[in-house]
């Protein structure tokens, strides 16, 4: 995980341009917003990254806790949201010390693939403590064993074609190929789960889980699970 944290804490090529970033933020905001079913909810977004959607989620909730492991990125989040009383930025250590039952909704999107199975299991156990008895944990962008880099590239190009940044996406894929991302993906790998496997890991942490109809985000080759405390 440390190598991935360093990568995301650097100037990386994940977004091909500002249009890509804005489209991504809109889709994630809509996806998370779908699970905010009542006013006054407390939301924990674990592994939030740049969180360009955060203000939209904060507008729908009473409290939004953004947890990010990358130190420079976390400091940038603190500066961006310093004037928003609804948003709190946390380190993983801060999150580990939150009180029991403090969150109505916990979201971890596009993070599980960068964790070892033991790391993921430990986090799921933490989330079971933090989520309220009637709350939910949404685990987004789980990578299945049959999802390849070509599948992910095709999903990006489809998104780009539908949103007016196809040429930028083509150049962005070349840039990514020449960056440290592909070497890191090859060397460190991504942790992949079948639906049975991820449901089993969640069950061991104290959740019952079902696959959502749609993945949170643009890549529908990946899957989202909605987990509830047992």
* Closest-CA residue to 25 (of 48, 53, 67): 53
| Spatial distance between the Cα atoms of 93 and 95, rounded to a whole number of angstroms | 5
Question: What does the block give as tokens for 221?
Answer: 């080759």
169 is written with which tokens?
């996406």
Structure tokens at 87: 């948003």
Which CATH number is 2-229's, of 3.40.50.150, 3.40.50.170, 3.40.50.140, 3.40.366.10?
3.40.50.150
For residue 180, pLDDT over 80 is answered with no
Is residue 219 within 8 Å of residue 152, measured between CB atoms? yes
Percent of the chain with pLDDT over 70: 100
> The pTM is what?
0.95
Contacts of the segment 75-78: beta carbons below 8 A, 24+ positions apart: 76/50, 77/48, 77/50, 77/51
Task: Name the β-bridge partners of 227.
Answer: 137, 209
Give the residue-averaged pLDDT of 109-127.
97
Query: Partners of 89 in the beta sheet?
Result: 66
* Domain range summary for the chain, segments of one domain joined by +: 2-229
pLDDT digits (tens, 9 = 90+) for 15-62: 999 999 999 999 999 999 999 989 899 999 999 999 999 999 999 999
Whether the CB-CB separation of 101 and 131 falls below 8 Å is answered with yes
Token pair, residue 17, equals 């341009």
Residues 6+ apart with CB under 8 A from 79: none
Work out the burial of residue 46: count CB atoms within 10 Å of its CB; fewer than 13 is exposed, 13-18 middle, 19 or more buried. Answer: buried
């Amino acid at each position: 995980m440390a190598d991935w944290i360093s990568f995301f804490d650097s100037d990386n090529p994940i977004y091909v341009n500002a249009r890509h970033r804005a489209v991504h933020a809109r889709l994630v905001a809509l996806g998370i917003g779908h699970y905010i079913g009542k006013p006054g909810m407390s939301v924990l977004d674990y592994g939030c990254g740049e969180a360009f959607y955060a203000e939209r989620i904060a507008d729908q909730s009473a409290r939004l806790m953004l947890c990010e492991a990358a130190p420079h990125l976390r400091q940038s989040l603190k500066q961006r949201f310093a004037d928003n009383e609804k948003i709190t930025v946390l380190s993983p250590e801060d999150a580990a010390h939150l009180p029991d039952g403090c969150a109505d909704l916990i979201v971890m999107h596009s993070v599980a693939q960068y964790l070892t199975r033991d790391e993921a299991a430990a986090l799921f156990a933490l989330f079971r403590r933090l989520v309220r008895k009637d709350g939910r944990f949404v685990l987004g962008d789980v990578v299945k064993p049959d999802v390849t880099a070509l599948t992910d590239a095709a999903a990006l190009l489809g998104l780009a074609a539908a949103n007016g940044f196809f040429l930028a996406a083509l150049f962005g894929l070349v840039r990514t190929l020449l960056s440290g991302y592909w070497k890191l993906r090859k060397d460190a790998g991504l942790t992949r789960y079948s639906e049975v496997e991820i449901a089993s890991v969640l069950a061991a942490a104290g959740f019952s889980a079902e696959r959502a109809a749609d993945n949170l985000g643009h890549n529908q080759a990946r899957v989202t699970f909605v987990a509830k405390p047992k």
